[in-house]
Structure 1
Amino acid sequence: MSASAVSPRSALVLADLVPGARVRDIALTLAGTAFITIAGYIAIPLPFTPVPLSLATFAVLLTGASLGPLRGSASALLYLALGVIGVPLFAGGNAGWAFSSFGYIVGYVVAALLVGTLARRRADRSVLSTLGLAGLGSLAIYACGVPWLAAFAGVDIPTAIGLGVVPFLIGDAIKIVAMAGLLPATWRLIDRTRRD
C-alpha cells in the first residue's frame, strides 16, 4: 500500500515512509519473510515442552507493526506457505505441518494482521499502546498455537497451556517490552527528523 493510498482516517506505518509502491511492497514483504525466517532459526529446544523457544514471535510482531496489516500478514503467510510445501524455514529446520508447534505459525499470520491493523491506527506510537499491541499479538499466536498443540499432542487445553504458554511468558514479556521501547522511539526519531 503506497503512502498516498492510505486513507485519511488511518495512519502511516513505518514501511509507508519508504519511497516506491509495488516494487517496495514486494521487497518489504520478502524482507519480512526473511526476517521471520532468520529469527525462527534462533531457537532453543526446551526439554520439558515440544515447542521451541524462538525469536520468530518477536519478528512477526515487529514485522506486522512495521509493515502494516497487508504486507505484514503477507510476509507471515509466505513464511507459512513456503514451510508447508517443504522449504525448511521453521525453527530447527522443520518444514511441513505435522509437528506440535505448527499452530503457532498459523497464529503468526493472524498476529501480523492484528498488530499491523493496530499500528495503522497509531497504536505503535506510545509505550503504553505498544505494550497493548504486542500483548494482543502474542495472545493471537497463543490462540492458534495452544489448540493445535493440544490436538497434536493428545492433551487437554490446560496441559497444552502448561506446555505451550507458561514456559514462554517471561520471554514474551521481554519481547513486548523491547517492542514498546523500539517502536515509539523510532517514531520519535522520525518525527524529529521531519521537523529538522
Structure 2
Amino acid sequence: MSTALPLGPGRAPLDRLVLADLLPRPVALSQTAVDTLLVLSGTLVVTVLAQVAVPLPFTPVPISLATLGVLLTGAALGTARGSLSIALYVLVGMLGAPVYGDGGSGWAFASFGYILAYLPAAALAGYLARRGQDKTPLRSVGLVLLASVVVYAGGVPWLMAFLDVDLATALRLGVAPFLVGDTVKALLVAAALPTTWALVRRARR
C-alpha cells in the first residue's frame, strides 16, 4: 500500500508533494507501515471532527465538521492514502461503528449520500493537492469549492430519493443551509494549507 513518491521528499519538487510526503520515516518502520498509520490517522481525524455536529430543526442534514476533515485529509495525504482513509471511515460506519456525525452509523438516513460522496471528494482534494493546488490561498479555495461540489453532487440525489422530494426541495434542505458554513471551511483550509507550506519552504531554505 506504499504511496510515497520514489524520489523522497528531500529530492522531489515541492509542487509535486503533499504534506504527508514530507514526514520523516522512522528507521524501524517500513514505508507500508508509515502509510498505514497515515491512513488510520486520517480516519481518526474525520471521525473526531464528525462528532462536532449540530442538528437543524428544518432539515434532516446536520451541520458537521466532517467535510472539513475530509478535505484536509485528502489534501494532506494525497489521493491514495486520503481515499483509503475515507473508505475505511465509510465502511466502519456502515458496519455499525459510531463514527458518523453525533455518533451515528449505518446507512439508512437522509444524509448518508453526503458521506458516500466523501470518498470521491477526498480523492479529488488529494489529486489537486498533488498538483500544487494547496500551495496558495486562492488555489486552496478552488480546491475546497470543487471538492464541496462533489459532496453535494452525491448528497442531494440521495436526499431526494430518501425523502421522496423534488430537486428544488432537496437543494433547500441539503445545500442552502450549509453555504455559509462551507465558505468558512474554505477560508480555514485556504489559511491552513498554504500557511503550512510556507513554513515548510522556510524550513528548507
Q: Which of 181, 189, 197 is the matching residue for 1:187? A: 197
Note the residue ranges of structure 1 that are not aligned, 5 or more in a row.
none
- Equivalent residue of 1:19, what SS? coil
Are 2:21 and 1:16 aligned? yes
Q: Tell me: CA distance 1:152–1:121, structure 2 relative to 1, closer, same or farther (3 Å).
A: same
TM-score (norm 1): 0.96
- Equivalent residue of 1:99, what SS? coil
Deviation at 1:113, TM superposition (A): 0.1
* Aligned equivalent of 1:56: 66
Contact persistence 1:46–1:52 (CA under 8 A) = yes
Structure with more of its chain in helix, by fraction: 1
* Aligned equivalent of 2:108: 98
Q: Tell me: CA distance 1:18–1:158, structure 2 relative to 1, closer, same or farther (3 Å).
A: same
* Aligned equivalent of 1:28: 38
Contact persistence 1:70–1:113 (CA under 8 A) = yes
C-alpha separation between the residues in 2 aligned to 1:10 and 1:173? 25
The root-mean-square deviation of aligned C-alpha atoms, in Å, is 1.5
C-alpha separation between the residues in 1 aligned to 2:77 and 2:103? 26
TM-score (norm 2): 0.92
* Aligned equivalent of 1:143: 153
C-alpha separation between the residues in 2 aligned to 1:74 and 1:168? 26
Deviation at 1:4, TM superposition (A): 2.1
Note the residue ranges of structure 2 that are not aligned, 5 or more in a row.
26-30
- Equivalent residue of 2:78, what SS? helix
C-alpha separation between the residues in 2 aligned to 1:172 and 1:2? 30
- Equivalent residue of 1:51, what SS? strand
C-alpha separation between the residues in 2 aligned to 1:19 and 1:189? 16
* Aligned equivalent of 2:4: 2
Contact persistence 1:28–1:67 (CA under 8 A) = yes
* Aligned equivalent of 2:128: 118
How many percent identity over aligned positions? Answer: 51
Q: Which of 123, 126, 138 is the matching residue for 1:128? A: 138
Number of equivalences: 195
